Structure 1
Amino acid sequence: MTPNERSGLTMARAFIALGANLGRPGVQVQRALELLALLPQSWLVKHSRLYSSSPVGFADQPDFVNAVAELETRLSPDALMESLFAIEALLGRMRTFKNAPRTLDLDLLLYDDLIVRSPDLILPHPRMHERAFVLVPLAEIAPDAVIPGHGVAARLLSGVADQLLFPL
């Protein structure tokens, strides 16, 4: 029985990118998955395996552990983002500078087919279609996921084939 069938209410399909490269990154990503499963009005449908990737932007930092999770949720995009920030804070996230090393990073990638451009939220997540550490785990769990303005996740993989990503 799906969450939609359980509740009888319309649910949104959301995808969350998880990443960490400080402390015990694999443990932190696993813990974040556990916490995502506990979000109110939400169900963790599935998640990808963990991957290792090199940092993007600020390169002088440890490699990342990455994954993508699929949620079905009744939370609004803004409420979901607040919940993601709360999980990051709980697991020690400190925002020091752009692309800084971090104990956990949770990004809302997609929320149904919603397109949002506001100071607090951009959907789909910018540059997700250019990053193997997002596209590969997304295509693993939802190859048919459509990134508005860019296409189907599985079809975008050839564009990131030159980026190194290793399953853990």
Structure 2
Amino acid sequence: MERIYIGMGSNLVDPAEQLRSATLALAQLPQSELVGVSAFYQSDSLLPGQPRYTNAVAALDSTLAPLELLDALQSIENDQGRERLERWGPRTLDLDILLFGDRLIDEPRLKVPHYHMHERAFVLYPLAELAPVDLRLADGRSLAELLNACPFVGLERLATN
């Protein structure tokens, strides 16, 4: 089994409930075990005019192949009403593979480590709740380095999941 970290985000239709439902769905994935889920965080959208996002990170141990997992995650998104009308539009649920063991993946449908995760506090701080302190990405960067370069600005840690 490989440890996989999945970013979760929502800014439509009760975002916290969307993340709770996604967590239940992740726990049901075949050949997989949900190991943990970070606290939920709220942040402003990267694009103006969109509702605030609620984000978290889940840790999953799985024997699924990367594209099998991607297909399963997209099925969960679809089941929760995800519409892909525009690339950066608001969404009921977004599930992104952030890290897949120590793999570097460069497929047309999947890039791991997830692009721009190093710039996104709403990814790094929830990830740090679950990942080992000495976690290194497949490209050699440490999580500690990424956190030092990405301040906890604009994030609000929610009291409960």
- Number of residue equivalences: 157
Residue of structure 2 in register with 1:152 after alignment? 142
Contact map agreement 1:129 1:150 (CA 8 A) in 2: no
- Which amino acid counterpart does residue 38 of structure 2 have in structure 1? S
Residue of structure 1 in register with 2:125 after alignment? 136
Residue of structure 1 in register with 2:21 after alignment? 31
How far, CA to CA, are the matches of 1:150 and 1:102 in structure 2?
A: 32
Change (3 A) 1:34 1:131: same
Residue of structure 1 in register with 2:61 after alignment? 72
How far, CA to CA, are the matches of 2:97 and 2:138 in structure 1?
A: 14
Query: Which runs of 5 or more structure 2 residues have no equivalent in the other structure?
Result: none
Cα root mean square deviation, aligned: 1.2
Given the two structures, how large is their TM-score scaled by the length of structure 1?
Answer: 0.90
Given the two structures, how large is their TM-score scaled by the length of structure 2?
Answer: 0.93
Counterparts of 1:16-55 in structure 2, within 5 Å, are 16-55=6-45
Tell me how far 1:144 sits from its aligned partner: 3.1
- Which amino acid counterpart does residue 130 of structure 2 have in structure 1? I
Contact map agreement 2:43 2:53 (CA 8 A) in 1: yes
Tell me how far 1:159 sits from its aligned partner: 1.4
How far, CA to CA, are the matches of 1:120 and 1:20 in structure 2?
A: 21
Tell me how far 1:164 sits from its aligned partner: 1.1
Query: Which runs of 5 or more structure 1 residues have no equivalent in the other structure?
Result: 1-10
Greater CA drift, 119-128 or 156-165: 156-165
